[in-house]
Amino acid sequence: MAARFRVVDAGRLSGRENIALDSALIEARLAGEIGDTLRFITFEPCALIGRHQDLAQELNLEACRERGVQTVRRMSGGGAIFMDEGQLGWALVCDRRVLGTATLPDVTEKICTAIAAGISKLGVDARFRPRNDIEIEGRKVSGTGGFFDGNILIFQGTVILDIDPAAMMAVLNVPQAKLEKRQLADAGARVTSLKAELGEMPSLEAVKAALLEGLAEVLDIEAVPEELSEREKQLAKEAFDEEIGREEFVAEICDPAREAGVFAGQNAARNLTAYLRVDGQQDNRIREVLFVGDVFVTPTRALLDLESQLRWAQLADVPAKVEAFFADPAISMLGLTPADFSDAIADAAP
């Protein structure tokens, strides 16, 4: 029997309002106050960074201010993205057991395959590309990411209907090394849009219907339209007022290297940075460590727990401690290994 998913759409909101509503859906689902849910999301212009990213490194903050682009920190990992009326967002908030998969990589592949099937119904050939993208002939049309909170999954993504390359390039700081790796002149060359692929702009309703069809076929779900409950609206307001909407939360990680006595190092793939303070007569003990980057680690507080466990550890003991930490089956990563964390610390060590 197909699993029942309620389908909700709150209309166009600011970036921070949308993330606060995500938080509300998770809290309500954890409490059993709502059922499994699919939400469609539309944004006012905003630049969103991942939960573990450096605000100043990822975004051109001056350009964001000049263009009236709101800066937003997501609850999920991943990289920085620019959102406006040309993108459609979607989010699944559900019991992970409904999907029959245990790990974040498996969940990612299954959901991305469903979304790709839906996009393809519009007349293009969309395919999942690990670790978390959906492409049309090698160009990204959708990015995704998610995490677990106990048995509850939140998995989000976007579909690019149309794109403003000038705005995207103005507000996002895309590393030159990332462009060179893909032999691209700029970040705009890496992405495409449904408008470009189809020769005309599809309607939001047509895209939503196609996505629902793909999700129903691949995930075996039954979509039932519903309205947001008053409880969800209340929880969203609380999340916005207390955390998501506050500048302190958005700037929680912002240029940590500016502080005296902080060393920085990266893993070999250069997608994870460790900021390190050391102590001891030979600077061989970790006083404090902060991991930053385009990373997906679940549960959401896993990196905070790892940082806490490494405090006051001898540098020589780091690899063993990191391996032991990630041996916990409740912790799942996408595109990283325990060695990446150890290597970043080793690279940062004085």
What's the confidence (pLDDT) of residue 26? Answer: 97
Tell me: pLDDT of 159 over 80: yes
The string of pLDDT tens digits covering residues 15-26 is 999 999 999 999
Q: What is the 3-state secondary structure (H, E, C) of 192-242?
A: CCHHHHHCCCCCHHHHHHHHHHHHHHHHCEEEEECCCCHHHHHHHHHHHHH
Beta bridge partners of 77: none
Average pLDDT value over all residues in the chain: 94
What is the bridge-based pairing of β-strands 46-49 and 221-225? Answer: unpaired
- Residues 232-257: b if buried by 16+ CB within 10 A, e if exposed: beebbeebbeebbbeeeebeebeebe
**Residue 220, pLDDT score:** 96
Question: Model confidence over 114-129: pLDDT tens digits?
Answer: 999 999 999 999 999 9
- Which pLDDT does position 283 carry in this prediction? 81
The pLDDT score that the predictor gives to residue 163 is 92
- Tell me the pLDDT band of 54, cut-offs 50, 70 and 90: very high
Predicted confidence (pLDDT) per residue in 202-215, tens digit: 999 999 999 999 99
Angle between helix axes 204-219 and 104-120 (nearest 10 degrees) is 130
pTM, two decimal places? 0.89
Beta bridge mates, 89? 41, 158
pLDDT at 113 over 80: yes
Reduce the DSSP state of residue 172 to 3 states and report it: strand
User: Could you give the strand order of the β-sheet that contains 263-266, starting from the edge strand earlier in sequence?
Assistant: 263-266, 272-279, 285-293
What pLDDT sits at residue 259? 86
Q: Would you kindly state where each structural domain of the chain is located, as residue ranges?
A: 3-247, 256-348
CA distance 68 to 62: 10
Whether the CB-CB separation of 50 and 295 falls below 8 Å is answered with yes
pLDDT of residue 101: 77
* pLDDT tens, residue by residue, 178-192: 444 444 455 567 899
Q: What is the pLDDT of residue 184?
A: 44
What's the confidence (pLDDT) of residue 188? 60
The reply to whether domains 3-247 and 256-348 share a CATH topology is no
Assess whether pLDDT exceeds 80 at residue 234: yes
Pairwise CA distance, residues 254 & 275, whole Å? 12
Instruction: Give CA–CA dist 196/304, Å, rounded.
Output: 41
Cβ partners under 8 Å of residue 49, min gap 6? 55, 58, 59, 71, 72, 73, 74, 79, 80
Predicted local distance difference test score (pLDDT) of residue 300: 87
Q: What is the pLDDT of residue 183?
A: 44
Domain 3-247 is classified in which CATH homologous superfamily? Bira Bifunctional Protein; Domain 2 (3.30.930.10)
Strands (E), the chain: 3-13, 37-43, 46-49, 70-73, 81-83, 87-95, 126-129, 133-136, 139-149, 152-160, 221-225, 263-266, 272-279, 285-293, 296-298, 332-334
Pick 256-348's CATH classification: 1.20.950.20, 3.40.50.970, 3.30.930.10, 3.30.390.50: 3.30.390.50
